Amino acid sequence: MMEDMVIDIFEESARIKKEFVYEYAEDIVNFGILLAKRLEAGFKVLICGNGGSAADSQHFAAEIVGRFEKERKSYKAIALTTDTSILTAVGNDYGFDYIFSKQVEAIGEKGDILIGISTSGNSKNVIEAVKVAKEKGLFTVGFLGKDGGILKEIVDKAFIVKSDNTARIQETHLVLEHTICKIIDMYLTGEIEK
């Protein structure tokens, strides 16, 4: 029955999210506060990923620059997935693997944060971005899936959704992003003691 399939999808999604949050709840709080402190200090967050993760990058950046649930000052966030002239020029001249790292090289500064989103943990262009970010002194974070891939070994902090289903990984990443935005809102509006 189709209804059973629908229920199975929702139950699987809920189970994966529960397993993830029980493993990472403390780390999510700590990273959310770190990100809020860096934003408040004038640093920026750069976010990158491919496909659905590119859309998540843009969504996440929009909620930091605009707002999530509370009215507050705008903060610096850039999705490295949006400038088609840069993406196509770098892709054409250097190769697709460098579309994000060239942007990190240009605008990343020590103290900034790079969030790389990769459901496999092995996206070459995200790996290259992390390498450049680390050379420049950015704090690097991976929102990853499966076993975390290569990225789990090279980022400063990895959040790994332990599933092989890309849709379920992306769903969990979205809840992670929204939760971090909630923590940022609370910190920057004084709900969390500084």
Q: Report the pLDDT averaged over residues 6-19.
A: 97
Residue range(s) defining the domain that contains residue 125? 2-188
**Residue 74 assigned to a binding site:** no
The pLDDT of residue 6 is 96
Does residue 193 lie in a domain region?
Answer: no
Percent of the chain predicted with pLDDT > 70: 100
Does residue 176 lie in a domain region?
Answer: yes
**Residue 13 assigned to a binding site:** no
**Residue 53 assigned to a binding site:** no
Does residue 111 lie in a domain region?
Answer: yes
Tally the domains of the chain: 1
**Residue 173 assigned to a binding site:** no
**Residue 85 assigned to a binding site:** no
Confidence of residue 61 (pLDDT cuts 50, 70, 90): very high
- φ/ψ region of 159 (left if φ > 0, alpha if ψ in -120 to 50, else beta) reads beta
**Residue 191 assigned to a binding site:** no
Number of H helices, E strands in the chain: 7, 5
**Residue 82 assigned to a binding site:** no
Does residue 165 lie in a domain region?
Answer: yes
Confidence of residue 38 (pLDDT cuts 50, 70, 90): very high
**Residue 125 assigned to a binding site:** no
Q: Cβ atoms within 10 A of the Cβ of 172, count?
A: 25
Confidence of residue 143 (pLDDT cuts 50, 70, 90): very high
